[in-house]
Amino acid sequence: MLINSLNRCWLLATVARRFSSANLKSVSMQKINYDRFVNALSARRKPSPIRELTKLYASAPAGTIFLAGGIPNGSTFPFSQMTVELKDGSSLKISGKTMENALQYQPTPGYPALIHQLKKFQSEVHKLKELFWMKNDLLVSTGSQDALCKALEMSLEEGDPILVQEPIYPGTSAIIRPLNAKMVPIAQDEEGIIPSALEDVLSTFGTAEEVSAKSNGVPKLLYLNSTGANPTGATISTLRKKEIYKIVCEYNLVIMEDDPYYFLHFEEQDPVSFLSMDVEGRVLRFDSFSKILSSGLRIGFVTGPKDLVHRIELHTQASTMHTSAFSQVVVSTLLEEWGSAKLQQHFKSIQKFYKDKRDCMLAAADKHLKGLAEWNVPKAGMFLWIRVPGIADTKKLITEGGILHGVILVPGKDFLCTDDAKSQYFRASYTVASPQDIDKGFERLANLIREENK
Ligand code: PMP
């Protein structure tokens, strides 16, 4: 008999735990009632029995015979191993059991080895306490966009107000708009969303006590980018984060910390995240490897309260089942090979690369746009957010004029919450253009603005 009695007990206990939804609730030791953040559609999601068994299979002791899943036999696949060559001359060899994992179905939350590495990574980067993982969890998503989309779809009902930084990343408004939720804009300056503006907006919905107690018609979520925001490039200072977090606790909100530019900062120290200061379980944090390893791998991860991450997991069970195992194994092997010291070294080199790019764009802006436009110096991210005071709305100038003059930028209007609003801004990205092209592009832009101002 291959499964001894000990293993059988383990199996029964695990199955019982996995399948009892009542138990799932009681395992959670959080004080917040997360039902407030879960809409009717999401509440109807039930665990997929087969997906749950796949999770079980991945953590089963050696010798467990798995006759449950509809898993294709890996021996029929044409791939046997892969070698990924790195730019530093080294290579990642993926073969044997690891290659089998790359080619096979994996548990919905992610490839177990990667989950383990990412939890360690988050604990180090955000200085999480040991107990953190008792109440919180992590799920690998297909880019951070995937988790962001599922999280918003988990929470928002038609007509629900949601607090968002304005200007806002259009990828987020593209999720919110069709849900018929109401984006409630919170003003930003060069340090990100302004705490007093947040409080003013919240007070229009009632007192902190009233808002906290209601489940309908009041905002429950606050969406923001902490570091190098898209499109403004703003980074929220630690002091501001503390003020915002205090308000979030008072009004019983959850922060959706969408922070794909976290490692693209130009300061000595990594920023202090909302996740690292969360003591109440109010932060759902979205991370991405798109800007630091590869955007094509489509690897992101969401970290936050178990009850909420579990809802995202159930959605994933019913959609993609899991993020590409191939991509997950490549990332996991890289992290294993590099360790945290080499990874940090890689981040430092990216930071220097983009800081130089930013400085190059700032120099071109100084040379060509002084007196015609205004901008802040971003401390992180990929963008310069430029205001043209003489023009009421940049849409026509940037789209029609820009194409005609051979320079393509994004008009500010595309980042606003309301369709018919005007914007004096546009977004310029310094990531891929050469210094010569940045200079030429801004020269063309300056001519365009001058013509418009005539
Ligand atoms: N959030 C923001 C603010 C972004 O700018 C982006 C990418 N443009 C994303 C999320 C999505 O990134 P990913 O490639 O990880 O899906």
- Ordered by where they begin, the domains of the chain are 20-49+88-338 (3.40.640.10), 346-453 (3.90.1150.10)
pLDDT of residue 366: 98
Ligand 1: distance of its center to the CA of 260 in Å? 6
Pocket around ligand 1 at a 6 A CB cut-off: 143-145, 169, 171, 225, 230, 258, 260, 288, 290, 295, 300
pLDDT of residue 11: 42
Which of 290, 294, 431 maximizes ligand 1 atoms within 8 Å of its Cβ, making it the mutation to test the pocket? 290
Check: CB of residue 271 under 8 Å from CB of residue 226.
Answer: yes
Q: Which atom of ligand 1 is nearest to the CA of 142?
A: 16
Q: Which atom of ligand 1 is nearest to the CA of 145?
A: 16
pLDDT of residue 26: 34
pLDDT of residue 15: 39
Show the low-confidence residues of the chain (pLDDT under 50).
1-30
pLDDT digits (tens, 9 = 90+) for 284-296: 999 999 999 999 9
pTM for the predicted model, two decimal places = 0.92
Which of 139, 141, 188, 230 maximizes ligand 1 atoms within 8 Å of its Cβ, making it the mutation to test the pocket? 230
Ligand 1: distance of its center to the CA of 170 in Å? 10
pLDDT of residue 454: 81
pLDDT of residue 402: 86
Nearest alpha carbon, ligand 1 atom 9: 145
Measuring CA to CA, which residue among 416, 417, 414, 402 is closest to residue 448?
402
